[in-house]
């Protein structure tokens, strides 16, 4: 693909903003590793299908989700994106989370995606039903990326 790393990252985040789970495949490689750094590499996801499943665990029951664009800095294949996300839960709670996301891009698609954010902020703001749902969520997507990062 002839996309720049910046174009690949912005395209991915446009797709994520729409919660277009099927569209993720256009923006990530088949071997892309995605992880939330606060929960560690043993709960990563790999590939577009499992990344979508992983995102649905967090976002699936949200009434609304919005990504707020921010600073994007690229150096070669590596792209850092400072942004925030507003999560609106069906029960009315709203939380805005600051993020820094690190991406690596290969052949116009994201091949590594690491989110850095405050785990305590979401756990203290989310309704109990959402937190409890994590314990029984689909975990078929779990990929242990220990030693790869």
| Sequential pLDDT tens for the chain (149 residues) | 689 999 999 999 999 999 999 999 999 999 999 999 999 999 999 999 999 999 999 998 899 999 999 999 999 999 999 999 999 999 999 999 999 999 999 999 999 999 999 999 999 999 999 999 999 999 999 999 999 88
Give DSSP secondary structure letters for 29-88. EEEEEEEEGGG-GGGBEESHHHHHHHHHHHHTTEEEEEEE---EEEETTEEEEEEEEEEE
Beta carbons within 8 Å of 10's beta carbon, 6+ residues apart: 72
Which pLDDT score, from 0 to 100, does residue 105 have? 98
8 A C-beta contact, residue 8 and residue 24: no
Which pLDDT score, from 0 to 100, does residue 32 have? 98
At residue 85, the 3 state secondary structure works out as strand
Which pLDDT score, from 0 to 100, does residue 148 have? 87
Q: Where are the domains of the chain?
A: 5-128
Domain covering 5-128, topology: Nuclear Transport Factor 2; Chain: A, (3.10.450)
Q: Cβ–Cβ contacts within 10 Å for residue 87, how many? A: 20
pTM of this structure: 0.94
């Amino acid at each position: 693909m002839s996309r720049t790393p910046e174009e690949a990252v912005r395209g991915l985040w446009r797709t994520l903003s729409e919660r277009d789970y099927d569209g993720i495949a256009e923006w990530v490689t088949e071997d892309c590793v995605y992880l939330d750094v606060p929960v560690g590499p043993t709960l990563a996801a790999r590939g577009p299908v499992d990344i979508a499943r992983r995102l649905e665990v967090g976002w699936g029951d949200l009434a609304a989700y919005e990504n707020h664009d921010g600073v994007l800095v690229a150096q070669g294949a590596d792209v850092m994106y400072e942004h925030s996300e507003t999560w609106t839960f069906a029960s009315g709670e709203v939380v805005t989370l600051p993020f820094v996301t690190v991406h690596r891009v290969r052949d116009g698609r994201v091949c590594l995606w690491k989110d850095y954010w405050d785990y305590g902020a979401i756990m203290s703001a989310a309704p109990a039903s959402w937190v409890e749902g994590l314990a029984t969520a689909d975990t078929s997507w779990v990929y242990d990326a220990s030693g790869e990062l």
